[in-house]
Chain A
Amino acid sequence: MMVAAATTLRHAAFLAMASLRHSWRRSALLVVVLGISLGIPLALSSLLEQASSDMRTRARLAPLVLGAKGSESDLVFGAMFFAANPPAGLAMHDLARVEGERLGQSIPIAVGATARKAAIVGTTLDYFERAGLAPASGRVFATIGECVVGATAARELALAEGATLFTDPESLSNLAGVFPLELTVVGVLPPTNSPDDRAVFVDLRTMWSIRGLGHRHDEPAKSTTAGAVIGAKDGNTIAGEALPIERAAAKGVAPDFHFHGSIDDFPIDGALVYPADAKAQAILLGRFTGKDEKLQLVRPDLFAERVLERIFGVGRVLGAVAVGAALLVGLVAASAFALSIRLRADELALMRRLGASRARVALFLAVEAALMLAGAALVAVAVAASAPLFAVSVLRVAAGA
């Protein structure tokens, strides 16, 4: 009995496959259209789920985020997701307003540079401690020019401990601008399913060097480059523009990097703030709410809920539209299939004349429909599976970043 059923199904599958192959263009079109239309509601649902999970998880990284006044979205997405440029205007000395009176700890974040398109994040070692991150291989950065790479970035850029990579130039058209700094990978982080996976972490001083605030060069007086020295005054050598600026992070040269100006005034893009307790948090929130206040302190958890509310509101509408569209396409696909059956009426009648039962003919058609639905399901799964890749983009759009 089982063998006969299996044989019948095998024959049905053979005839169905032959029919699908014979009209493969029509079959493929139906499968793709049906798959995409089924996949969109799934993708939307998957996307919203991923976006909400990403957002809420990331929002738990720090209770507060400090930044310059301006777009709240840019601040949160820049300082926590490394996916935007926060408003400018925050400097290192601003952190004292958080850390003074022991109200809390702040971890500076500087973003905006990339290395082979991966976001570079300048921070301190406290970041890893707060995020519960320890390199899966190697160690954390110790000096200028060293970096720790997120798991995804390491995989996609084929980076391992000991590898080097150059930062991307600020502007390809500005040849006179800050030019690339060579970074040495000293550690690779484990996967965390967070923005950390795609980031390249460096010390703040490295980030400032990338921005051109710090550099190293030969002793002008010893330089053999023509034009390296343009004069002397009061016993000091005056270096000329031709003095070569070294950008390589070769071993042992880190101490030669130096910064002009006070590091307290150096810019950062945001800071993750960890209040000492609830009372300290309340005080800090009140501290940055003045009318003339040039900084803002944001609660990422509340920001996340606002963004998600907006996303889910839009998502509900889009979901309803997508389900409606899927139903419509399903109806069209069913009609197209029914039409194809009518066009093959002679073929089906032949099977009946050759002695096939109605049930047998119906089975052939059912198997054909099932094969097409299976193909459509694969396309739908592929569409749905790709949706989470766009979660951060959707969050940013929804937040207006």
Chain B
Amino acid sequence: MIPTIGAGGTLSSMTPSETDQTPRIEATDLVFVRPETGFRLSTPAFALRAGESLAVRGPSGCGKSTLLALLSGELVATEGEVRVLGRPFGADEADRRRVRGTAIGQVFQTFELVASLDVVENVLLPLRLHDHLKLDAAARTRARELIARVGLEGKESRSIDRLSHGERQRVAIARALITEPPVVLADEPTGNLDPRMKRTIAELLVSACAHARAALVVATHDESILPLLGSSLEIGGGP
């Protein structure tokens, strides 16, 4: 069963055939305006189904990260709406936060790991942040499987300080998938990696999301990873 968002933002279940037909994430024509800076972002409508991926491209400052924040519910669009598994984000901040915590996995440019936790506990961190997620034996097993999938088997108890940048991003990918989210958003996931590692991590991200049947949106200006992503969206927002 694939988790999805039910009424009120709680998790319910659909059969795979149902969810395969439903876009994991879709955005109508989105407009986001910051009146105080004059920043305006406008994007065309798009939808991603299970296993599909999208590259969001554009120069620095064009609004790639802003688009990801709109897709994650961190920001609310001035016009248009975002739907995850067919349901729009509610106006309620708590509801959006719940969706963001459970239905959206996130990977960041600077890894954003907790230094005081080891590899497996970093992966399990999202489960400690939400009451409706269970951190049980099954979750621990899932975490170990994900760690193995991203190539860190045997390093479950290793301190984050003792990992290379590439390894840290692998941990971040495993963490993004621990809640089995229908959508994964990655903001410049290869931005802090050396050229050799960029492609490896990008391939890993794409394959892990495909394996988890999650839709993947990657904001990047790294041309080398574009061939790995199914589609591409060029944006040109800005002040």
Contact = CB atoms under 8 A, between A and B. Distances in A.
Interface of A: 4, 7-8, 11, 14-15, 18-19, 21-23, 346-347, 350-351, 353-357, 360
Interface in B46-105: 72, 74, 94, 97-102
Given A18-B116, A19-B116, A22-B115, A355 B131 contact: no
A19 B135 CA distance: 19
13 contacts: A8-B131, A11-B128, A15-B128, A18-B116, A18-B117, A22-B116, A346-B112, A353-B106, A354-B101, A355-B98, A355-B129, A356-B130, A357-B94
Contacts of B74: 353
B116 A354 contact: no
Interface residues of B, number: 24
B115 A356 contact: no
Interface of B: 72, 74, 94, 97-102, 106, 108, 112, 114-117, 121, 125-126, 128-131, 135
Contacts of A23: 116
Contacts of B106: 353-354
A238 to B, nearest CB: 87
A353 B112 contact: yes
B87 to A, nearest CB: 16
Contacts of A15: 114, 116-117, 128
A14 B98 contact: no
B112 A14 contact: no
B126 A347 contact: no
Contacts of A351: 125, 129
B56 to A, nearest CB: 18
Contacts of B125: 351, 354
Nearest to B97: A355
B121 A354 contact: no
A274 B102 CA distance: 84
Contacts of A22: 115-116
A23 B131 CA distance: 27
A38 B106 CA distance: 44
Nearest to A357: B97
B112 A355 contact: no
Interface of A is mostly: helix
A353 B71 CA distance: 13
B159 to A, nearest CB: 9
A273 B114 CA distance: 74
B100 A355 contact: yes
Interface centre among A7, A19, A353 (most CB of B within 10 A): A353
Given A11-B135, A353-B74, A355-B97, A347 B128 contact: no
B126 A354 contact: yes
A4 to B, nearest CB: 5
Nearest to B115: A22
Contact of B101 (A4, A7, A11, A356): A356
B130 A355 contact: yes
Contacts of A14: 128
Contact of A354 (B94, B117, B129, B131): B129
A356 B116 contact: no
Nearest to A8: B131
A299 to B, nearest CB: 64
Contacts of B130: 355-356
B126 A355 contact: yes
A21 B129 contact: no
Nearest to B114: A347
A11 B130 CA distance: 10
Nearest to B93: A357
A19 B114 CA distance: 9
Given A11-B135, A350-B112, A356 B117 contact: no
A356 B129 CA distance: 5
Contacts of B112: 346, 350, 353
A4 B133 CA distance: 10
A21 B99 CA distance: 32
B65 to A, nearest CB: 12
A23 B106 CA distance: 27
Contacts of B131: 4, 7-8
B116 A21 contact: yes
Contacts of A350: 112, 114
Contacts of B94: 357
A341 to B, nearest CB: 13
Contacts of A8: 131
A346 B112 CA distance: 7
A354 to B, nearest CB: 5
Contacts of B97: 355-357
A375 B114 CA distance: 24
A18 B121 contact: yes
Contacts of A353: 72, 74, 100, 106, 108, 112
Given A353-B106, A355-B97, A347 B129 contact: no
A199 B239 CA distance: 88
Contacts of A357: 94, 97
A7 B135 CA distance: 9
A347 B112 CA distance: 7
Closest 10 CB pairs of A and B: A355-B101, A22-B116, A11-B128, A356-B129, A355-B100, A18-B116, A350-B112, A19-B116, A355-B97, A4-B131
Interface centre among B121, B125, B128 (most CB of A within 10 A): B128
Contacts of A19: 116
A368 to B, nearest CB: 10
A11 B101 CA distance: 16
B13 to A, nearest CB: 20
A224 to B, nearest CB: 79
Contacts of B129: 11, 351, 354-356, 360
Contacts of B121: 18
B76 to A, nearest CB: 15
Given A23-B116, A353-B72, A354-B106, 12 more contacts: A15-B116, A18-B114, A18-B117, A18-B121, A350-B112, A350-B114, A353-B74, A353-B106, A354-B125, A355-B99, A356-B130, A357-B97
